[in-house]
Amino acid sequence: MNYTLIVLLIYAVLMLGATVLLTKKEGNVEKFCVVNRNIGWGISALSIAATWIWAPALFTSTENAYTKGFAGLFWFLVPNVICLMLFIPFAKKIRREMPDGITLSGYMYEKYQSESVKNVYLFQLGALSVLSTGVQLLAGSKILSMLTDIPFTAMTVIMAVVAFSYSQFSGIKASILTDSVQMIFMLAASICFAAFGIKNGGGVETLLTGLGGLTEDAGCLFSGRGWEIFLDFGLPTTIGLLSGPFGDQCFWQRAFCMEKGKIGRAFFVGAILFGIVPLSMGILGFIGAGMKYVAVDAGVINFELIRELFPTWAVMPFLFMIVSGLLSTIDSNLCAASSLTTDIFKKVTIKKTKIAMILLLILGIMVANIPGLSVTHLFLMYGTLRAATLLPTILTLKGAGMTPQGIVVGIISALIVGMPIFAYGNIIGIAAYKTAGSLTTVILSGMVALAISRKVGCQHE
């Protein structure tokens, strides 16, 4: 049997085994979505970190370090860590205001008593889950199908089935438990790969040489090349990432799951733990650039370097780390999708939550199989999608006086105007359009929401 299939089989057996042995099959919808709202901060921190380790954290970090040097890794790593920390006061606030809540869309409905507000948030949160699942399947299946000779489409289905197998057993509890196991392994593996990569790749001197990337001129944030990287990648990435947790039901769901007084500690520690993995993967990218390695596919440069610098057996723990990182996000998306059913149906059953999981996987598989899609482009696209609800969510949690009409029109305006600008810039590769699209999406949603809210408020006076 191919060793890649062995890794997948071991992963599936471990995750399903841990779920069956340490949790019980859940039949209560609320517990399926938020357990007993008393998960500890330690296991929550590991789960938050694992959920945030999606395809870009594992692949884009290495690719950026390899091609764009220190500036490329910096503008990916730092916003990724900071966004989880900025999320803390808002996670605390939503839990105080809605202690029995389950979803962000449910919170927005309670605040505005508007089906339209709830539905526009359901669209954004649902679409994000689909695109996020698609990019995980795309990245993982790209490598696994290459190693096993199993067709790409078939591999996306296999990965989806593995994630569903344990997620449907006990819902969010299974997700948090398996996330923790996966994160401990990813931390150990990534640190070892970075350390031995330096040792086997030419030492610290090679690492320092690689800080400039392949072109050797991106080692400084504020050089000419550094500014170019900031405008082309850094700014749109930062905007998308800072809005990341705010537009992702996975993180609101965890805020509703854990002990109320431990939310801040869990997200802070989770952010630090997360940062270790892309930093370690980035070090591999610097090594590759420093040793002038010519990549066959820069998008999977870390995998190529593992095969180049390490013994053959090292591919197995690397693949286990990749599978863990990708499927931890997929299983979190599955639980997020199941929780959204509480806002869709008046009477929710466990069967409906599991149907939502299956539907999400079907749509994710379809996205992953769209010809010509790349992990980085898809990552930037759904980062902009999340940005559409950033300011309306923050303003609501801050107590700004807004109306349902303002919220809905603001978000729709941002999606209609900002997203196409960004998409056009992404397709033709012009940084100015990507930046303009990201900024337009964020600013327009908040400005329009406030403007219309004030106009409606004046008319009612």
What are the tens digits of pLDDT across the range 373-407?
776 667 667 767 888 899 999 999 998 888 999 99
| Phi, psi of 258, rounded to the nearest 5 degrees | -90, 170
146 burial (CB, 10 Å; 0-12 / 13-18 / 19+) is middle
Token pair, residue 151, equals: 């067709």
CA distance 452 to 411: 12
Cα 145 from chain centroid (whole Å): 22
- Helix-strand-coil percent breakdown of the chain, rounded to 5? 80, 0, 15
The yes-or-no verdict on residue 66 having pLDDT over 70 is: yes
- In this structure, the dihedral spanned by the alpha carbons of residues 277, 332, 268 and 70, taken in order and rounded to 10 degrees, is 30
Could you tell me the two tokens for 322? 């990749």
Question: Degrees (nearest 5) of the Cα angle 315, 319, 321?
Answer: 120
Report the candidate in 312, 289, 311 with the shortest Cα–Cα distance to residue 301: 289
CB 269 within 8 A of CB 45: yes
Question: Quick one: average pLDDT of 215-234?
Answer: 73
Fold of domain 3-376: Sodium/glucose cotransporter (1.20.1730)
Per-residue pLDDT of 136-176, as tens digits, reads: 898 888 878 877 888 999 999 999 999 999 888 888 999 99
The residue type found at 337 is A
d(CA 172, CA 188): 24
Q: Each residue of 438-451: pLDDT tens digit?
A: 788 889 999 999 99
Q: List where CATH 1.20.1730.10 sits in the chain.
A: 3-376
Highest mean predicted confidence (pLDDT) among 58-67, 77-86, 234-243: 77-86
* 154 CB neighbour count, 10 Å cutoff: 12
258: β partners: 39
Residue 419, amino acid: M
